[in-house]
Amino acid sequence: MKILEKGGVTAAKGFRANGIHCGIRKNKTKRDLALIVSDVPASAAAVYTTNLVKGAPLTVTKKHLENGRAQAIVCNSGNANTCNADGIEIAEKMAALTADALGLDASDVLVASTGVIGQRLSLEPIAAGMSALVAGLGDYSDEAAEGIMTTDTVKKDIAVEFTLGGKTCRMGGIAKGSGMIHPNMATMLVFITTDAAISPALLAKALSSDIKNTFNMVSVDGDTSTNDTVTLLANGMAGNAEITDEKSEDFAVFMQALNTVTVHLCRMIAGDGEGATKLLECLVSGALDEENAKAVAKSVICSSLFKAAMFGADANWGRVLCAIGYSGARVDVMKVGVAFESKAGKVEVCRDGAGIDFSEEIAKEVLSEKEINVLITLGDGNASATAWGCDLTYDYVKINGDYRT
C-alpha cells in the first residue's frame, strides 16, 4: 500500500473532475460547483445521514443508485437544497442538466449539495456554468475539492496505490466537512473513486462496513447534518478480476485501501472543524467489547467541556472520566487510566480511576501541540476503538453566529 503524492478523485484510471464558480455563492473567488466523471459506467455505493430531515439530493441519489451503477457525481456548495418544497425537482433537474452535457442517462448521475438549509436553490447558475464545468474536465481533483467546500479552511484529499491480482490499482478521495459533523453517518460529503473492479453488492458491503469505524467515529460539534453522504465509485479500469467474494484476499486488500483513504479523510475533517486549532484522537483500549469501546471514545470526543479544556491546553482529566461515566458503556471506573500524548511527549494523569501526580508544565507543553492523542485504558477486556474530534474555540461561535447572513 503506497500513499501517492498527488491525491484525490482523479488518481485512479478513467476519472476526470473539475470545479468552478457558477454564481451560487456571492463570493466569486470561491468555487461552488463540482463534477466527477468516470469514462465508463462504474459500480457505485453510498451511505447517508441518519437525520430524519434529509436534503433532497439524498432522495434522488438513492433512487439513482438502486441498480448499483453510476458514472458521474455533481455537487454544489453554498446551498443545501434541504427543506424546500421544490427540492427533489431541483435535484432531479441538476442530474438531468449534467447528464445532457455529458451524454449520459440522468439515472447515472448522483447529486449532492451542501450549504445553507431552507433557502431555495436556483438552477440558473448551475445551467449557465454546466458547459464550462464539463469542458474543463481533466486532472482537476483540487478544483473539485474546492468546489464542495463551505466553512472548510483547507481542501481534503488523498490517494493510494495497491495491487489486486497482479494489477496496479488506485483509490482516491476528496471530502468537505467542518461543521454540523457528528455520528452517525456520515461526515458531510465524501467522494471516493477507484479503478479496481468489484461487484456493486460487495462495494456496498465494503463501504457500509468501513464507515462503522471511520466516519461514524468523527464529531466536531454534535450536530448531525441533513446532507451527509459518502459515495464510492469503482470503474474496473485497472483490469483486475472483479472482486465478488468477500472472503477473498483481494477483498481484504481492497478493504485495507479503503480504510487508509477514509481514516486519512476522517483526521482531516476533524482537524479542520469550525474554529478548531487542534485535532483530537481518542484511543480506547481494554474495553469489554467494541460496542463499549466505541461508546467511551465517542462520549469523550463529543464532550464540550473536554473540548474546551483542550483548547486551553488544560489537562483537566476529570472531564474525561465524567464523559466516560455518562457514555452508557459498561465500565469499572476503578480500573480506568488516562494519558495525553503529542509530539511534545506523554503525560499520565489518571490511574485506576484516581488522579496521580504529574507536571502541569509538561502537560501544558503536550496539550499545546496541534495533534493530541487521548489514551484511555479501561482494564475490562481486549476491545479497542478510535474516535476523532477537535477542540472547541471562540471562533466556532463566531462562525455560526452569522452563518446564514
CATH of residue 190: 3.60.70.12
CA dihedral 87, 90, 92, 96 (to 10 degrees): -170
Task: State the catalytic residue, choosing from 49, 61, 82, 187.
Answer: 187
Q: Is the pLDDT of residue 116 over 50?
A: yes
- Same domain as 39, residue 81: yes
Q: What percent of the chain has pLDDT over 70?
A: 94
Helix axes of 124-135 and 87-102: crossing angle, nearest 10 degrees: 30
In this prediction, residue 226 has a pLDDT band, given cuts at 50, 70 and 90, of confident
- Same domain as 303, residue 226: no
Q: Report how far Cα 78 is from the mean position of its chain's Cα atoms.
A: 18
> Which among 103, 185, 115 is positioned nearest to 147, based on CA atoms?
115
Q: Is the dihedral angle over the CA atoms 200, 204, 210, 214 positive or is it negative?
A: positive
Q: Are 199 and 242 in contact (CB under 8 A)?
A: yes
Give the model's pLDDT for residue 180.
Answer: 47
Given 251, 271, 291, the domain boundary residue is: 271
- Same domain as 289, residue 262: no
Provide mean pLDDT across the span 134-156.
93
**Ramachandran region of residue 353, left (φ > 0), alpha (ψ -120 to 50) or beta?**
left
C-alpha cell at 92: 432531479
Q: Are 58 and 229 in contact (CB under 8 A)?
A: yes
187 catalytic? Reply is yes
Query: What is the total count of domains within the chain?
Result: 2
Residue found under cell 468477500: 246
Strands (DSSP E) found in 117-210: 156-164, 167-176, 189-194
- pTM, rounded to two decimals: 0.91
- Rounded to 5 degrees, φ, ψ at 282 are -100, 115
- Same domain as 301, residue 215: no
Q: Is the pLDDT of residue 6 over 90?
A: no
Q: Are 294 and 387 in contact (CB under 8 A)?
A: yes
- Same domain as 220, residue 97: yes
Q: Is the pLDDT of residue 395 over 90?
A: no
pLDDT tens digits along 317-354: 999 999 999 999 999 999 999 999 999 999 999 999 99
Q: Is the pLDDT of residue 397 over 80?
A: no
pLDDT tens digits along 37-79: 999 999 999 998 877 788 899 999 999 999 999 999 999 999 9
- Same domain as 154, residue 62: yes
Q: Is the pLDDT of residue 199 over 90?
A: yes
Which range of residues forms the domain containing residue 314? 279-401
- Same domain as 239, residue 153: yes
Give the model's pLDDT for residue 403.
Answer: 60
- Same domain as 285, residue 263: no
- Same domain as 86, residue 110: yes
In this prediction, residue 224 has a pLDDT band, given cuts at 50, 70 and 90, of low
- Same domain as 291, residue 165: no
Given 255, 271, 287, the domain boundary residue is: 271
Q: Is the pLDDT of residue 221 over 70?
A: no
Give the model's pLDDT for residue 115.
Answer: 87
CATH of residue 339: 3.10.20.340
Provide mean pLDDT across the span 5-13.
94
> Which among 331, 332, 349 is positioned nearest to 340, based on CA atoms?
349
> Which among 187, 383, 389, 183 is positioned nearest to 291, based on CA atoms?
383
- Same domain as 152, residue 111: yes
- Amino acid, res. 98: T
Q: Is the pLDDT of residue 277 over 60?
A: yes
- Same domain as 126, residue 78: yes
Q: Is the pLDDT of residue 405 over 70?
A: no
Provide mean pLDDT across the span 231-251.
98
Q: Are 376 and 285 in contact (CB under 8 A)?
A: yes
Given 233, 255, 271, the domain boundary residue is: 271
pLDDT tens digits along 147-195: 999 878 889 999 999 999 999 999 999 998 764 445 554 446 999 999 9
Which range among 185-194, 249-258, 378-387 shows the weakest confidence by mean pLDDT? 185-194
